[in-house]
Amino acid sequence: MIWADMAISEDTAMALLPPGIRPAASPCVTFFIADYPHTSYGFSYHEAAVWVHAVDDSGELQHCPWMLVDDDQALVLGRELMGFPKMLGEISLHSDGQHALGRAVRKGREMLRIEGSLASDHVQPPVLFDKRVINLVGSSLVGLSYLEYGAGGERFHTCRRGQGSITVASNPMLPEIAPESPCDIWLATMDISDSRKDNPMTVGAQIEDDAWVQARYLTQTFS
């Protein structure tokens, strides 16, 4: 797993969040590229995504407006059951111990690149997945509803910190950042627990802004 945090403007964060969810006090996103060699579903796959750090009346949360995977089973499970707007792409993650590179490509276009040089081990990496999540479930035909579930749990085995950059392609569902933005990067091996089963998903209210629903669904589906 390779990831990096990036500060963004409040306007950029607002454009990526559903109605009723507000940017965090210090607007920020987390980009990550992951290699899942073993899963509880019995197949392996790669994934690339962006988390928007946000808040609502119940506290802190994360929202995912964009995600690529390289396996159709992972796409169906994540998109239809958990509200992750997954699309198919080509994803790779490599490290030689000194340098790490993660790439996510869709239809021949590089959408996300995280790369950098690795430095010291870090015993207490920042929380990545162990947070409350609110996604959206539904379609432009039946509407979009909020889908909320609790923190997933995570356990780090190794983690290294380094200096690198993020490069993001222009896309309505990806935050705008300067080309090859410098940042701290993290590379880790970790387990993501299945403890969300102890925090059942809850389907919330339907979004009432039909124009927003149509625009978001079509953008996420065809970008």
pLDDT digits (tens, 9 = 90+) for 164-193: 999 999 998 999 888 888 999 999 999 887
**Across 113-130, average pLDDT:** 86
Residue 203 lies in a domain: no
Return the closest-CA partner of residue 91 out of 31, 50, 47, 49: 47
CATH number for 26: 2.40.400.10
- Whose CA is closest to 19, among 211, 221, 219? 211
Domain encompassing residue 80: 2-127+155-193
pTM for the model stands at 0.93
Question: Domain total for the chain?
Answer: 1
Q: Running DSSP on this structure, what letter comes out for residue 130? A: -
The answer to whether residue 135 sits within a structural domain is no
Per residue in 136-149, pLDDT (tens digit) is 999 889 999 999 98
Q: Which helix (H) or strand (E) holds 3?
A: strand 2-7
143 within domain boundaries = no
